[in-house]
Amino acid sequence: MLSVILPTYNEEKMIRRTADAVGRVLDGAGISYELVFVNDGSKDGTWEEIERTAAEDPHVTAVCFSRNFGKEAAMLAGLANASGDCCAVMDCDLQHPPKTLVEMYRLWEQGYEVIEGVKRTRGKESALHRASAGLFYRIISKAAKIDMSRASDFKLLDRRAVDALLLMPERNTFFRALSSWIGFRAVSVEFDVQERTEGESKWSTWSLIKYAVKNIVSFSTVPMQCVTVAGFFVLLLALVLGIQSLVKYFSGHAVEGFTTVILLVLIIGSVIMISLGIIGYYIAKIYEEVKGRPRYLISRRIGSSARKSDDDCENADRQEAGTAGEPGRT
Ligand code: UDP
Ligand code: MG
């Protein structure tokens, strides 16, 4: 059975439509499936819409987060609550074409374990968005040592790959890169990003910048090494200026150079501040990881994935991801 995981955040208009579209395609191809909706703390009627759809369509199961935990957490929750032999993750806005699912499933049947959807075209975007996405992917590709320039979250994973992903203990996950990092027999499938028909993208420029920084830091320590490089650079500058100042001192012209002093104080001051900021960011991330809070909290469930009674707010993460220890409640 194929489990299709659909993270949703304020997608009330898309639930029914996506469930129908995906169902039609998979039924048509004779693939048995379940749809796992993850309601990521939507503020509109998304959960009610999922409940309505589930009442009519026995393929639908769902979990509801207690608040918005972000798409990464939603995808992991979907994977943890899916019971299929393979799991596909796709957006709930039909920007990932359902017919590609069939293509992916056929590759899975041939024995591939990680089938990655790669974007043939990126869909409609502003020039600035395209340029910054390009820069982000160059950095992250270097960091993860995988070409990610056309990567997406649209993937189909074998049960073995899913279990491997769920074993990752880290809180700051980057699904797109982790799915390559785990290895296994991988192949990619091209697809065209469709246009969004209803609702709007949940990503503002600011949230994209935060997302980029977070993921670069979660995959690479290069920014911290830049601090060392900057240190050496400043040391070199110090040597040159030091020699110059000494020469001036001994030749009796030492009073001049006040501008140089101001400039040096400013430059070194900013380099130190930026460096501390970078190191501070890593420390903040370590702090988050050390606290070991669950990635998400589930408040409600529908369907076969109901391992606990409804309205039982549980520490789903630790139990389902197989990390040792009782949840924080007694
Ligand atoms: N999404 C989510 N939680 C969030 C933001 C988005 O589950 O905090 C879901 C959203 O409902 C959609 C998918 O992630 O199914 C992709 O979001 P969106 O279409 O806004 O992103 P874009 O396609 O613009 O990259
Ligand atoms: Mg979208």
Give the strands of the sheet with 114-121, arranged side by side. 186-192, 114-121, 151-158, 86-89, 2-8, 33-39, 60-65, 298-302
Contact 118, 190 (CB under 8 A): yes
Identify the residue whose C-alpha is closest to ligand 1 atom 22.
201
Closest CA to 211 of 67, 70, 65, 79: 70
CA end-to-end span of the chain, whole Å? 36
Closest CA to 105 of 21, 28, 1: 1
* Nearest ligand to residue 71 Cα: 1
Find the largest Cα–Cα distance for the chain.
92
**Single-letter residue type at 312:** D
Identify the residue whose C-alpha is closest to ligand 1 atom 2.
71
**Bridge partner list, 33:** 2
CA–centroid distance, 231 to ligand 1, in Å, is: 40
Lookup: tokens for 218: 């979660």
What pLDDT does 78 receive?
A: 93
Identify the residue whose C-alpha is closest to ligand 1 atom 13.
91
Identify the residue whose C-alpha is closest to ligand 1 atom 8.
70
Question: Which of 12, 15, 198, 202 should be mutated for ligand 1, with most atoms under 8 A from CB?
Answer: 202
User: Could you count the other beta carbons within 10 Å of the beta carbon of residue 207?
Assistant: 12
CA–centroid distance, 216 to ligand 2, in Å, is: 22
List CB contacts of 296: < 8 A, sequence separation 6 or more: 65, 66, 69, 73, 74, 76, 77, 316, 317
Cβ-based burial of 192 (10 A; exposed 0-12, middle 13-18, buried ≥19): middle
Ligand 1 binding pocket, CB closer than 6 Å: 7-9, 11, 40, 68, 70-71, 74, 91-93, 95, 201-203
What pLDDT does 205 receive?
A: 76
- Within the chain, which residues score under 70 in pLDDT? 123-124, 144, 256-257, 304-330
CA–centroid distance, 30 to ligand 1, in Å, is: 28
Tell me the C-alpha distance between 99 and 102, whole Å. Answer: 6
What pLDDT does 202 receive?
A: 72
What pLDDT does 304 receive?
A: 62
* Nearest ligand to residue 211 Cα: 1
What pLDDT does 221 receive?
A: 82
pTM of this prediction?
Answer: 0.73
Cα–Cα distance list, 256 to 35, 162, 209, 249, 268 (Å): 75, 67, 44, 10, 20
List CB contacts of 62: < 8 A, sequence separation 6 or more: 36, 37, 38, 39, 50, 51, 54, 301, 302, 303, 305
Taking only the tens place, the pLDDT of each residue in 222-260 is 888 888 888 888 888 888 888 888 888 888 777 766 777
Tell me the C-alpha distance between 200 and 225, whole Å. Answer: 38
Lookup: tokens for 120: 């043939």
Lookup: tokens for 65: 């987060």
What pLDDT does 271 receive?
A: 85
Q: Please tell me the number of Cα atoms within 13 Å of 278 on its side-chain side.
A: 17
Atom of ligand 1 at shortest range from CA of 69: 8
CA–centroid distance, 40 to ligand 1, in Å, is: 10
Question: Which of 93, 200, 201, 206 should be mutated for ligand 1, with most atoms under 8 A from CB?
Answer: 93
CA–centroid distance, 11 to ligand 1, in Å, is: 9
User: Could you count the other beta carbons within 10 Å of the beta carbon of residue 323?
Assistant: 15
Atom of ligand 1 at shortest range from CA of 92: 15
Atom of ligand 1 at shortest range from CA of 93: 15
Taking only the tens place, the pLDDT of each residue in 106-154 is 999 998 999 988 888 776 677 777 787 888 888 878 776 777 777 888 9
CA–centroid distance, 37 to ligand 1, in Å, is: 13
